[in-house]
């Protein structure tokens, strides 16, 4: 079964917009787990526009499922990760002023740097996932750099899904087969939603985990958080 990790960045964004503690991010994380989420994902950025650095330690104390911290491996970010020892760290090559992550690593060009980071995280018992586009060479480069998993950037799939689902998912199916051949685990995330999630899972062999935030929190405005998490879980469980 593919595991569902709920990205709570948008909850923090809503909280920060009023400068108070409403909604309570820690309580939302606790509730997401109680409602069935199998992981909590956060992506602290340098401007702290959603997840703040002081949120990380607070969440570390309460998350009982998988805790996944995403981000660009600057020294400041790595120190934050090492101080809070999540189960998984997902390395994402986003610029400080980037609105959202929109491309994967060039694991061939950046392989030496990624190897250094993977080694440091592994020495501290942290599993490493590397954000990549669905390109076989990038998958192989992530494996060569020492990553335990890749996370497919699924934005292009989501964008093209409505026009031609089979064509949209084809690069991911092919890259997933390469990942399975070289022995690296597969995660995925970005714009996966209730419409396209099941199709993606069906065509991405051995998909271990999806990290979903924006769509899930948006759906929760209509369906409620508890019901929405169950709806996403049903997509992943359906045969």
pLDDT, tens only, 59-100 = 999 999 999 999 999 999 999 999 999 999 999 998 766 666
Residue 239 has a pLDDT of: 56
pLDDT over threshold 60, residue 3:
yes
- What is the domain-level CATH number for residue 212? 3.20.20.70
Residue 97 has a pLDDT of: 67
Mean pLDDT score, 33-52: 96
- Could you report the per-residue pLDDT of 44-53, keeping only the tens digit for each? 999 999 999 9
Please provide the size of the chain in residues. Answer: 239
Residue 95 has a pLDDT of: 74
Cα 131 to the center of its chain, rounded Å:
8
Cα 68 to the center of its chain, rounded Å:
7
- Could you report the per-residue pLDDT of 105-138, keeping only the tens digit for each? 999 999 999 999 999 999 999 999 999 999 999 9
Cα 237 from Cα 201, distance rounded (Å) = 10
Range of the domain at 43: 3-237
CB of 169 within 8 A of CB of 199?
yes
What does the block give as tokens for 111? 């392989």
Mean pLDDT score, 208-231: 98
Cα 38 from Cα 16, distance rounded (Å) = 25
Cα 197 from Cα 51, distance rounded (Å) = 25
Residue 101 has a pLDDT of: 62
Tell me which residue of 37, 47, 64, 36 sits closest to 13, measured CA to CA.
47
Confidence band, pLDDT 50/70/90 cuts, at residue 102: confident
Tell me which residue of 10, 68, 17 sits closest to 42, measured CA to CA.
68
Catalytic residues, which ones? 43, 70, 190
What value, to the nearest 5°, has the Cα angle with vertex 9 and ends 232 and 76?
135
Q: Which residue has the tokens 């491996």?
A: 73
Residue 98 has a pLDDT of: 63
Query: Per the structure, how many domains does the chain have?
Result: 1
φ, ψ at 84 (rounded to 5°)? -120, -5
Residue 67 has a pLDDT of: 98
What does the block give as tokens for 171? 């690069």
**Cis bond before residue 23 (omega within 30° of 0):** yes
φ, ψ at 189 (rounded to 5°)? -175, 150
Tell me which residue of 202, 196, 189 sits closest to 104, measured CA to CA.
189
Cα 92 from Cα 148, distance rounded (Å) = 15
pLDDT over threshold 80, residue 146:
yes
Strand (E) or helix (H) holding 188: strand 185-189
- How much is the pTM? 0.95
- Could you report the per-residue pLDDT of 157-200, keeping only the tens digit for each? 999 999 999 999 999 999 999 999 999 999 999 999 999 999 99
CB of 2 within 8 A of CB of 234?
no
pLDDT higher at 19 or 164: 164
Mean pLDDT score, 209-217: 98
């Amino acid at each position: 079964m593919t595991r569902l990790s709920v990205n709570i960045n948008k909850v923090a964004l809503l909280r920060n917009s009023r400068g108070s503690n409403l909604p309570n991010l820690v309580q939302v994380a606790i509730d997401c787990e109680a409602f069935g989420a199998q992981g909590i994902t956060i992506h602290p950025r340098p401007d702290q526009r959603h997840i703040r650095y002081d949120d990380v330690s607070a969440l570390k104390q309460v998350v009982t499922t998988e805790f996944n911290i995403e981000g660009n491996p600057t020294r400041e970010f790595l120190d934050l990760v090492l101080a809070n020892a999540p189960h998984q760290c997902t390395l994402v090559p986003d610029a400080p002023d980037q609105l959202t992550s929109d491309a994967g690593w060039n694991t061939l060009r950046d392989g030496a740097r990624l190897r250094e980071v993977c080694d440091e995280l592994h020495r501290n018992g942290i599993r490493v996932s590397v954000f990549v586009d669905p390109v076989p060479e990038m998958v192989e480069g992530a494996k060569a750099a020492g990553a335990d998993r890749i996370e497919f950037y699924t934005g292009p799939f989501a964008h093209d899904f409505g026009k031609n689902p089979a064509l949209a998912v084809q690069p991911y199916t092919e890259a997933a087969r390469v990942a399975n051949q070289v022995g690296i685990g597969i995660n995925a995330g970005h714009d996966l939603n209730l419409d396209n999630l099941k199709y993606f899972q069906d065509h991405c062999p051995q998909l271990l985990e999806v990290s979903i935030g924006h769509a899930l929190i948006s759906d929760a405005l209509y369906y409620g958080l508890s019901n929405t998490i169950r709806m996403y879980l049903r997509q992943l469980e359906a045969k």
